[in-house]
Structure 1
Amino acid sequence: MVQSHREVPGLGINRRTLFWAAGVGAATAACSKPATQPPANPPTPTTTTSTAGPTATPPDWEGLRRKVAALSQPGAPDYDTARRSYNTFFDRKQPVAVATVQTPEQVQACVELARQSHLPIAARCGGHSYAGYSVPDSGLVVDLKGMNKVDLQGTTATIGAGARLFDVYTALAQAGRCIPAGSCPSVGIAGLTLGGGVGVLSRKYGLTCDKLTAIQVVTADGVLRDVSADADPDLFWALRGGGGGNFGIVTSFTFATDPAPDLVVFQLTFPAGAAPAVVGAWQNWVAQAPVDLWSNCIIAGGSPPHARVGGAFVGSQATLNQLLDTLVRAAGTRPTNRMVGQRRYLDAMRYFGGCTNRSCAPEAQPREAFVASSRILTKPISDPAGLTNLLQGRVDLDMLLDSLGGAVSAVKPADTAFPHRDALATAQIYQKATPDGQETAARAVAEVRDGVGKLGARGGYVNYIEAAMPDWGVLYYGANLSRLRAVAHQYDPDRVFTFAQSIHRA
């Protein structure tokens, strides 16, 4: 557990094409799963370990097989498919088993086996963990996709932890409701929510985790808990932004929903050479924007880097055009393409998901090889030319600046585990790579990440988790880290839920 424009009809759209063509940044980039180190330059591990309890017992696989919906192990015909995640870089990972579950009781059986056997365990929904933590080597994958029911009662939605975003949007939109979330269609609701949840309605309605009223979760002791502000309040606090995989396996979320609004989507594509001016203008523009406006600025690496601004507005086209005119004047350069269009809510989600002209079904989304990282812009970068120059000549590398503020900043940093409440924007650094180019891509991402840090950006977003992020515990969780450690120790003293960047290792 662990997201405006014109699409090209008939084009097989990969993730980078989606970012550029659809103006999708953090909203899509929340295509992910979260979760930490000792301070500074940790190794990049390929395995995770559980240290639960004093004595391990051999795992009873046949016993578990009788309790879960399905169990796939190496050698089984479906194993290679069952173990796959979104990022093809992680196809090399070899979990010892993949358990398909459909009920909380089946999840409890998996946790009990992992606890008794000291076996690494990870829940997987969308499989978008940027570091591959939802597929632990020599561990047990708990596949939640069968727990995907969306039940709307009045304005309250209870959503199974295996549901993926487009299925959630479709079910809620049928009743005219929505929750603020990401835009990548195949991202799991669980990983997105547990890390905070940034999306195209964040400034209007808040983070995904801000709409939670209750969570059902299996903790390390195998207990199924109904968690809320009144029941296990510390755990409820930690599960709202503390990262997926850290405190247990969530089986369902209960959200307060909002009316699904019509949206005006937009895209401004600027000419070559204009990126520094556009980035500088965009930063100040979004800082003053009304809460009804969400926007991102995408800088595409190249010679020179190019910039494009996209987003969505809850309001009229006329008002949005006035806001865009202000941005264009501040940038001092006219866009080569300007698109503004009204869309119904679900059509807008299709648009941001890059699937207006193709299937949005999660299983229809193409897989991809990539490396990514993040920074947090706490305020405008004073040297936008320096920022854009970091991408000079870097083909297939993008930086996606996604606006925060608005309803996100209405919540205090300590009120949930998500610490970046006062930030201007997230910055995702995303490098598409070839199957044999992971190391080269990782170096490029690290260079840009560190360069953004030297320009004044601080922190990182746990839903864009990166194994090589230095001092990651502090960067992801800030002042909330010590409380998160205490919650992890309280609910998982034997460290059942431990992996390379788990709270236990922060």
Structure 2
Amino acid sequence: MTMDRRRFLTTLGTAAALAAAGGAPARALVAFPARSRGWAAAPPDWRSLRDRLGTRLVLPADPGYGTARLGYNTLNDGQRPAAVAQCVSADDVRACLDVARGHGIPIAARSGGHGYLGYGIPAQGLVIDLRRMADVVVRPDGTAEVGAGARLIEVYTALAQAGRLLPGGSCPTVGISGLALGGGIGVLTRAYGLTCDRLAAAELVTADSRLLTASPAVEPDLYWALRGGGGGNFGVVTRFTFATAPAPGLTVFVLGFPAGSVTQVLGAWQQWVAGAPPELWATCQISGGTPPGCRIVGCYVGDPGGANPLIDHLVTAAGTAPSSRTVSPEDYLGAMNFMAGCSHDTLAQCHPTWEGGVLPRAGFVAVSRMLGPAALDPAKVTALMAGRTGVSLLFDSLGGAVGALAAGATAFPHRDSLAGAQVYAGATPLNEDRVRSTVNGIRDGLAGLGARGAYVNYIDGTLPDWGRAYYGGNLPRLKDVARRYDPDGVFAFPQSVAAA
């Protein structure tokens, strides 16, 4: 039995996926800021870039362009970049910037392609596609060198073979770059921290084509910004070094509750995760309806003997017996596969269909909020979801190791949050406006209840005061870093740090 969010939300009545960074549908994109004073209007010299990249530079007339340009969210399929450069090295990235910089076109890096709003596939811009830079090397000291194009299932598989782990998300085709640069909330977050908390160093190409390494000792302000400041703001990261941890045995669990019990379960869940040991992580997933329904999904660092008493405590506090209960011991890779829905025979099958895998793309609208340290009124949250068939509200627990750092220790500011919230609904171009209105209404309702922050990896094109919502008090320092490393706005996009 597999339990990734796509399958969970399909069961709840809506197709779903967990993504990690993003942009906006083509018709919703605002104009890009001016990228440099005096930039020419002439197009880039694609011929010179083709001399270097050969067929790895994909232009609109080339075979394979229709696939090469695609991101994960099908609502962004109308965005047609001027070129997709499939890079295999940092020098390829530098060559791309040398050709495209100065022509006033948007330039964006793409790793997994899961950006909610498609900022990684800018219309009439250059996509620096990092997918082929996907190697993962685990060193004897436990550090992992990870190419910026690696997807999570590739990272998890390589680490598991070495007996190591890295905390991260549950969707197998999400790219490591978007996840880590925006923070990295996942199923081992409370025990091991955010993905960005494990970042030891990053190699990146800056707007002026310099190849830098950012670490605590070298370029420390840039290193700080890369840990939660969001993808695409400061340069193109080409390689990460992560400090991993030994991989222990884990326990995964799923509790399904009867419809009509959301208020009791959510109220109990908030109190439960606030006081839970850091070894326990859990998400409360609410499905809109009449009445709304919910389930709890979690992961515990340890065996079922340690997990079951904690689960029993939640059930007792909720005062409602679950209609189903699954508790299963797993090794690290087994737990990640369980959460990812990868009950397949080979790693390759946990890839998108256009790469020979079995995982499809999806059309969806999703937004986020971050809770404060205080719990939300569960009855009012339930009311927000009443009658909202096809919409899901996901609360992912934080605390534990996340809260051990100060809000300014990294660029990720939400260190005291009880949980992150994501509102998700499947959509097509025909119903997108209606779905977006519904999802935004729930988002704004959560803000009215006290959840006013937001997670930059669930980027939201209509979020009020988005700069402060994403970055809180860290925004001024992030803007200073962006001005230093990209003074001409080469990597500017509608919700870049510089535009906040």
TM-score, reference length from structure 2? 0.94
Q: Which residue of 1 aligns with 2:72?
A: 86
Q: Which residue of 2 aligns with 1:379?
A: 373
Aligned partners of 2:84 and 2:31: how far apart in 1? 16
Change (3 A) 1:382 1:199: closer
Higher relative contact order (CA 8 A, sep 6+): 1
Question: CA shift at 1:401, angstroms?
Answer: 0.2
Q: Give the one of 75, 86, 109 matched to 2:95.
A: 109
Q: Give the one of 379, 403, 406 matched to 2:397.
A: 403
- Residues 1:147 and 2:133 aligned together: yes
Question: CA shift at 1:443, angstroms?
Answer: 0.4
Q: Which amino acid aligns with 1:261?
A: P
- Residues 1:130 and 2:120 aligned together: no
Q: Which residue of 1 aligns with 2:60?
A: 74
5 Å-filtered alignment, 1:268-287, equals 268-287=255-274
Q: Is the 8 A contact 1:34 1:245 kept in 2?
A: no
Change (3 A) 1:35 1:443: closer
Question: CA shift at 1:48, angstroms?
Answer: 3.5
Change (3 A) 1:250 1:232: same
> Match of 2:21, SS?
coil
Structure 1 stretches lacking a partner, 5+ long: 1-5, 37-42
- Residues 1:97 and 2:91 aligned together: no
Change (3 A) 1:49 1:96: farther
> Match of 1:117, SS?
coil
Aligned partners of 1:68 and 1:121: how far apart in 2? 17
Aligned partners of 1:466 and 1:452: how far apart in 2? 15
Q: Which residue of 2 aligns with 1:40?
A: none
Instruction: Work out the number of aligned pairs and report it.
Output: 486
5 Å-filtered alignment, 1:424-435, equals 424-435=418-429
Q: Which amino acid aligns with 1:281?
A: A
Indicate the larger mover: 115-124 or 495-504: 115-124
> Match of 2:144, SS?
strand
Question: CA shift at 1:436, angstroms?
Answer: 1.5
Aligned partners of 1:21 and 1:241: how far apart in 2? 32
Aligned partners of 1:437 and 1:407: how far apart in 2? 40
5 Å-filtered alignment, 1:486-505, equals 486-505=480-499
Q: Is the 8 A contact 1:127 1:134 kept in 2?
A: yes
- Residues 1:469 and 2:463 aligned together: yes
Q: Is the 8 A contact 1:35 1:462 kept in 2?
A: no
Q: Give the one of 31, 47, 56 matched to 1:62.
A: 47
- Residues 1:320 and 2:307 aligned together: yes
Question: CA shift at 1:68, angstroms?
Answer: 2.5
- Residues 1:48 and 2:38 aligned together: no
> Match of 1:296, SS?
strand
> Match of 1:230, SS?
coil
Aligned partners of 1:234 and 1:201: how far apart in 2? 27
> Match of 1:496, SS?
coil
Change (3 A) 1:200 1:457: same
Structure 2 stretches lacking a partner, 5+ long: none
- Residues 1:33 and 2:17 aligned together: no
Q: Which residue of 2 aligns with 1:3?
A: none
Q: Give the one of 443, 447, 450 matched to 2:441.
A: 447
Aligned partners of 2:74 and 2:272: how far apart in 1? 37
Q: Is the 8 A contact 2:2 2:339 kept in 1?
A: no
Question: CA shift at 1:382, angstroms?
Answer: 4.2
Question: CA shift at 1:47, angstroms?
Answer: 5.3
1:193-247 per-residue CA deviation (whole Å, 9 max, x = no partner) reads 0000011111111000011111000011110101111111111000100000111
Q: Give the one of 292, 304, 319 matched to 1:332.
A: 319
TM-score, reference length from structure 1? 0.93
Change (3 A) 1:394 1:77: same
Question: CA shift at 1:272, angstroms?
Answer: 1.2
Indicate the larger mover: 397-406 or 71-80: 71-80
1:63-82 per-residue CA deviation (whole Å, 9 max, x = no partner) reads 01122261111122211111
- Residues 1:240 and 2:218 aligned together: no
Q: Is the 8 A contact 1:48 1:136 kept in 2?
A: no
Q: Is the 8 A contact 2:371 2:417 kept in 1?
A: yes
Aligned partners of 1:102 and 1:203: how far apart in 2? 35
Q: Is the 8 A contact 1:47 1:136 kept in 2?
A: no
Give the % identical residues: 52
5 Å-filtered alignment, 1:161-176, equals 161-176=148-163
Q: Which residue of 2 aligns with 1:229?
A: 216
Change (3 A) 1:116 1:492: same
> Match of 1:427, SS?
strand
Question: CA shift at 1:44, angstroms?
Answer: 3.8
Q: Which amino acid aligns with 2:199?
A: L
Aligned partners of 1:339 and 1:428: how far apart in 2? 24
Q: Which residue of 2 aligns with 1:39?
A: none
Aligned partners of 1:367 and 1:184: how far apart in 2? 12
Q: Give the one of 344, 356, 360 matched to 2:331.
A: 344
